[in-house]
Amino acid sequence: MEAGENVRIVNESDGAVVENIVTDEDSETVAQGEDKSPTFGFTEPSWRTDLCLVVEGTKLYVAKNILSLASPVFDAMFQSDFKEKSSDELELPGKKLRDVLEFLRCIYPNTYTQINRDNARVILPLLEEYQVLQLKPRCEVVILETVSEETSTNDLLQLLKEACLYDLKALRARCIFLISSRPCDALDENYCKSFPSASALNEIFLNPLCVVLRRGYVTEQVNEVTQCGT
């Protein structure tokens, strides 16, 4: 992290602890963890569950009250006149089983799963969709820990896209700072692949460091053209 940047990272110990709670056929979709076993699984119904989530054909048994406490979207869904209020089964089309499992493990009590570098970017879209905003700062912290001078420009641009999409201000500032110091030819090439937001792009090219580098890059191109013509 560069000195003088307005980015604060809180150091926290990570420990993704997950048990394989899916069948052997689906085991590849479950992240492996340490020896701690969660006290709640999702593959079997019990007196604690009153809703079945269907994801990629797999049934996950959950409790509406826990989903409601974690997510205002689920809360509104179960209290409104939507069919989900009285239904005991809810299909989640377009969702991946692995992603939903990670999401559930992170919002559910007693699963011993923490947000870490492996699952932060996986669950961010679901946190945003279901408005579980209290977990987004933790995601931002662990993602920031993966960003450094060694991070490729392409990866920085992808992270910048996600930072803009999910309103992660510290990550956005960090990515813009690092991208602004990259060679302009590399930035132009990679930008075409990743398309960060227009406002973020403006911040990059208006950054004083980027202005200096771009001026030098343009000068080099002019010199090359001049030499070719002589």
- CA pair distance 65, 71, nearest whole angstrom: 10
For residue 199, what are the domain limits? 147-229
- Of 177, 149, 184, 150, nearest to 163 by C-alpha is 177
Task: Tell which of 103, 133, 163 closes a domain.
Answer: 133
- CA pair distance 190, 154, nearest whole angstrom: 5
For 115, counting Cβ atoms within 10 Å of its Cβ (0-12 exposed, 13-18 middle, 19+ buried), the class is buried
- CA pair distance 62, 64, nearest whole angstrom: 7
| CATH for 116 | 3.30.710.10
Query: What pLDDT, on the 0 to 100 scale, is given for residue 209?
Result: 52
Query: Taking the chain, what is the end-to-end CA distance rounded to the nearest angstrom?
Result: 45
34 and 128 share one domain? yes
Flag whether 5 is in a domain.
no
Flag whether 220 is in a domain.
yes
Flag whether 14 is in a domain.
no
DSSP string, 150-197: TS-HHHHHHHHHHHHHTT-HHHHHHHHHHHHTS-HHHHHHHHHHH---
pTM of the model: 0.68
125 and 176 share one domain? no
Flag whether 86 is in a domain.
yes
- CA pair distance 58, 43, nearest whole angstrom: 8
Give, for 52, the enclosing helix (H) or strand (E). strand 51-55
Tokens of 158: 């992808």
What distance lies between CA 52 and its chain's CA centroid? 25
Query: What pLDDT, on the 0 to 100 scale, is given for residue 6?
Result: 46
92 and 121 share one domain? yes
**Which range has the worst mean pLDDT, 52-66, 94-108, 165-179, 204-218?**
204-218
Give, for 58, the enclosing helix (H) or strand (E). strand 58-62
> What is the per-residue pLDDT across 77-102, written as a single tens digit (0 to 9) for each?
888 766 655 678 999 999 999 999 99
Query: What pLDDT, on the 0 to 100 scale, is given for residue 70?
Result: 94
Flag whether 15 is in a domain.
no
β-bridge partners, 184: none
Flag whether 2 is in a domain.
no
Flag whether 202 is in a domain.
yes
Model confidence at 112: pLDDT above 90: no
Model confidence at 71: pLDDT above 50: yes
155 and 128 share one domain? no
Task: Tell which of 81, 103, 133 closes a domain.
Answer: 133
Residues 180 and 171: beta-carbon distance below 8 Å: no
> Into how many domains does the chain fold?
2
Flag whether 139 is in a domain.
no
123 and 29 share one domain? yes
> What is the per-residue pLDDT across 151-177, written as a single tens digit (0 to 9) for each?
998 898 889 889 989 999 999 999 888
Task: Among 111-115, 122-126, 163-167, name the most confident range.
Answer: 122-126
124 and 170 share one domain? no
126 and 192 share one domain? no
Query: What pLDDT, on the 0 to 100 scale, is given for residue 190?
Result: 55
Q: What percent of the chain has pLDDT over 90?
A: 39
Give, for 74, the enclosing helix (H) or strand (E). helix 72-79
